Structures are given as structure tokens and as C-alpha cells.
């Protein structure tokens, strides 16, 4: 994969993340009154360094979906056919292995559910990596990559949410989601794991 420019060249990802800091003030203007002070402090601390973070990505890398959440997973309605299909690959790239699992769990689970289940879920993810032939990537490495990956949702949501048209339902979804991602980043000390301290 590393020889395929369309997936391995980081220029597109760097361009997106370099633009995210400009979204911080519009985001805070629009949503700041509904956020916890600790979340705002987190955003102000890490969003300016979004581009630095993606430039720091190093091996091992995996093929990242980049928008891996339940909205982009289709489940079969046939009970005898348990197949699923993942859609929307416009942000596919190479990157840290913990980004997609963190982005998914941060959006799919309520904060308390995520806190109680994440270590077991990441252990299961790690076991699947090993059974798929991944070597030299211990559970501690996997957990640290997951912790680092928790920055992804924070950076994207804060950096881009101000561009989304405002509706009552849409704004509430954004606030609910960014609260989950912020709590996740704080719980896991994601800025430290991502080198953003």
C-alpha cells in the first residue's frame, strides 16, 4: 500500500488538518455556551496543532477508513446472513491503527458505556489483528494507538462543525457528539498519547 500514492501520500490529509484551526473560533461562537469549560480548554489547547499531529504519524500504519462510524456501516436484514458492508471511502488513507476504532467507539457508545467496555473491545480488536497475521504490535501498542486516535474526533468535529448548516436537530447532534469525543480524549489523556501536550 505504501507505494500507492492515492492512499499513501499524506498531502490531502495534511491539507485538511492544516485548515482545522480556522474552525475553532466559529465553533466556539456557535456552540461554546453549551460546552463544559474543560472541553473548551481542551479544544483551545489541541486544535491549533491539528496539522502537526498528522505530520507526526509514523509506522505502524493501517488502511484507515477515516469516517468509520455506524452511519457508514450497512447491516444485512437477513438473520441467516450476518454480512456487513462499509461504505463512504472518500477519506481512505494510511494512518495510525487506533484512529478508526476510537472514532467509531466515540460516536457509537454513550460515554459511560464506552468507559466500561472500551478496554475489552480494544482487546478484541487486538486479538483480531493478531489472528490476521499482524506481528510485533502488542496490546500496549494497540491501546496507546487507540488513545492517540481519540484526538481524531475532537479535531475533526471542532474544526469542521462550523461549516455545517445550522438546524435544531443537527446542532444538538454536533453538541452531543463533541461532548462524547471530548470526554473520551480527556479520559484517555489523548493529547499526551498524540504528542500534543
With residue 63 as reference, give the H or E element that holds it. strand 62-64
Residues 6+ apart with CB under 8 A from 186: 38, 39, 42
How do the domains of the chain map onto residue ranges? 5-193
pTM of the model: 0.94
Question: Does 2 score more than 80 pLDDT?
Answer: no
Neighbours of 184 (CB within 10 A): 27
Distance CA 17, CA 156 (A): 8
Distance CA 71, CA 172 (A): 17
Provide the percentage of residues in the chain whose pLDDT is more than 90.
86
Q: Which of 52-56, 93-97, 162-166 has the lowest mean pLDDT?
A: 162-166
Neighbours of 6 (CB within 10 A): 9
Q: Which CATH number fits domain 5-193: 3.90.1200, 3.40.720, 3.40.33, 1.10.287?
A: 3.90.1200
Amino acid at each position: 500500500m505504501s507505494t500507492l500514492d492515492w492512499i499513501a501520500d499524506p498531502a490531502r490529509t495534511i491539507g485538511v488538518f492544516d485548515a482545522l484551526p480556522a474552525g475553532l473560533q466559529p465553533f466556539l461562537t456557535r456552540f461554546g455556551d453549551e460546552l463544559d469549560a474543560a472541553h473548551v480548554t481542551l479544544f483551545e489547547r489541541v486544535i491549533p496543532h491539528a496539522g502537526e499531529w498528522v505530520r507526526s504519524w509514523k509506522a505502524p500504519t493501517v488502511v484507515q477508513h477515516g469516517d468509520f462510524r455506524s452511519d457508514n456501516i450497512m447491516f444485512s436484514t437477513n438473520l441467516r446472513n450476518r454480512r456487513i458492508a462499509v461504505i463512504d471511502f472518500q477519506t481512505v488513507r494510511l494512518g495510525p491503527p487506533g484512529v478508526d476504532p476510537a472514532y467509531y467507539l466515540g460516536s457509537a457508545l454513550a460515554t459511560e458505556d464506552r468507559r466500561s467496555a472500551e478496554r475489552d473491545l480494544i482487546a478484541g480488536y487486538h486479538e483480531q489483528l493478531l489472528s490476521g497475521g499482524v506481528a510485533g504490535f502488542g496490546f500496549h501498542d494497540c491501546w496507546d494507538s487507540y488513545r492517540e486516535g481519540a484526538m481524531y474526533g475532537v479535531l475533526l468535529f471542532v474544526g469542521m462543525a462550523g461549516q455545517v448548516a445550522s438546524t435544531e436537530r443537527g446542532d444538538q447532534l454536533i453538541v452531543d457528539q463533541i461532548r462524547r469525543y471530548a470526554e473520551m480524549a480527556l479520559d484517555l489523556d489523548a493529547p499526551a498519547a498524540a504528542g500534543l501536550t
